[in-house]
Amino acid sequence: MKRTPQERQESAWAISRRTAMFGGAQLLIAGALVLRMRQLQVAEADQFRLLADENRINIRLLPPARGLIQDRNGTLLAGNEQNYRIVLVREDAGDPRAALERLAGLIPLGEAEIDRAVREIMRHRPFVPVTIADRLSWEEVTRVAANAPALPGITPEVGLSRHYPFGAEFAHAVGYVGSVSEADLAARENPEPLLLIPRFQIGKVGVERELEENLRGAAGHRRIEVNAVGREMRELARQEGTPGQSMQLTLDRRLQAFALARLDGESAAAVVMEIATGDVLALASAPSFDPNLFVRGISVADFNELRENEYRPMSNKSVQGAYPPGSTFKMITALAAFEAGLATAEERVNCPGHMDVAGRRFNCWRRGGHGRMNLVSALSESCDTYFYELAQRCGIDRINAMAERLGLGGRFDLPLSAMSSGLNPSREWKRARRNEEWMVGDTINASIGQGFVLSTPLQLAVMTARLASNRAVTPRLVRAIDGVEQPVPDQPALNLPSAVMRQIHRGMVECTNHSRGTAYSSRIVKAEQRMAGKTGTSQVFSITAAERAAGVRRQEQLPWNRRNHALFVCYAPEDAPRYAVAVVVEHGGGGSTVAAPMGRDIMLATLNDGWPPIDAYPQPQRNRIEAMLRTIREKVGPADGTGPAVSRA
């Protein structure tokens, strides 16, 4: 059918409109595409460039240098040494066991080490470098480097490893580092990536552990180019980490070495404190161990030897060991009674060798008794019966309160592991822990530092410093951080009655300087360095009535672990106290015969820049002392490990 001119015109208009609409739509789409392309190529170019870089660039962490630890004179106690090591990348090496067996032909690598290395390699992603061996010699590293073409995926590297130049001397105080374990990671809610680096080391005990956050530092990083499967192609940039903070401790290396050498052969501990500041100058625990063994990975045989030693070399007895303080506690009992006005200095108590209380006999250490004793003579000769009498008058509540004022029964804020709080018993403690009421016999036992009472050598040193100064001396172990001196803790006055304190001091002076004093044989004859002290002997096992009737055997006739603990505390000089010392010898026998001579020698070393002068000893003892000091000098060596001794500032 033929269309009319009007129909043809309407049809052309419709086609034109559709064409215009379609063309407009195309123009809009093209415009939108152009605008989007401009946004992608110009406005968002940096963002997409970064995404592209992330596909070809990896960032790997670099361990920082660990902070140094020094003694009060700047002698290095814990440092970092250059360490040659071998790393393996599994994806480049192929079969890791075969690669390690080839490597074993060049460096010492046993079957057990290969098994351990394979397990560690398989725990990580194929392109993560895993340390196979470290602390290699230069000759071993050069052999590996020379054979590099035959050892794909195996590379020698240079890093830093922890080193303790004085070995056992500071093992308990400074501690040691070791590889991060699964337990270490589990103990942290969000472990930082640095801890996930294979074989990265952190502090395990001592200052190394307690100040880990300060010593660790901040990680560095390196930017490396990798291919599509993650293989490293080349290093693009490197930023080294921030080293950890350096720690200067209050310890004196020469004095620490002398104290540890003097304790040699015993299971013992000694603490030296500067009274004016509370600075801990020595914190010795014997026997000790070499912390470098743990850094390198201690063998099963070496670890079992330490663990099975009955002298417990891995225990820091100076702060972890809790012992009955024995007669070193008697000053506390006296102060509790005298401050309450329940006794006077002139009053005398008769000691027939025992006291009967509540149907039970409590014996004095001298079976025949001391006769009539006042406070000074009771301290000097360590009469038990005198303090039994004072304890009945003042009761456990006053004794407990006085012991707390003098530093017993609590932990001090020091960066040391597993510090014990000892035990300052009370009525409430016994009721809560044993569901029993406090008995008068408990008070009698506590009055001479037996029964439930326990204290650490550090606490005894603090007690002695507080007795010497009548101030609340608080121990300090960190002297400076990155060269910034740390504040000395406040030492508020204890306000103990001065008249009573004079009698306490006089009793301690006579203990070491009067012919009837229990520590007279350990006196210092140099007038300006005379010391005041108190011996202590604490029973480990109770003596039964049958044993006492049969005649108690001498200490040396008993098995070692049944012998008494020997204790001694002292301060010097007697007229202007500067230092306090506490010594505990586990199962040492008598405090006067074993602990007091050690305490005297350590005090003389403290007063004389690390070495006792022979003229400070009684004349008859000098030949024996000279021989002993020669032996100790060989053990101590130079103060800095290389040159002449450094005196304490």
Question: Rounded distance, CA 303 to CA 323, Å?
Answer: 26
E-assigned strand segments in 314-448: 349-351, 354-357, 360-363, 371-373
Q: Which two tokens stand for residue 615?
A: 């003229």
Question: Rounded distance, CA 337 to CA 359, Å?
Answer: 23
Our answer to whether residue 327 is catalytic in this structure is yes
360, 365, 405: which is closest to 387 by C-alpha?
365
* HSE-CB of 203 using CA atoms within 13 angstroms: 27
Distances (CA, A) of 584 to 329, 534, 567: 13, 12, 5
CB within 8 Å of 615: residues ≥ 6 apart: 525, 526
Residues forming beta bridges with residue 283, ordered by sequence position: 271
DSSP tag of 612: -
Q: Please measure the distance between the N-terminal and C-terminal CA atoms of the chain and give it in whole angstroms.
A: 123
Q: Are 409 and 421 in contact (CB under 8 A)?
A: yes
Q: Which of 327, 377, 382, 426 is catalytic?
A: 327
Question: Rounded distance, CA 600 to CA 604, Å?
Answer: 6
For the chain, the residue count is 649
DSSP letter for each residue of 164-214: -TTGGGGTTTT-EEEEPPHHHHHTSSS--GGGGSTT-EEEEEHHHHHTHHH
294, 267, 375: which is closest to 331 by C-alpha?
375
DSSP helix/strand/coil, 109: coil
Which residues are annotated as catalytic? 327
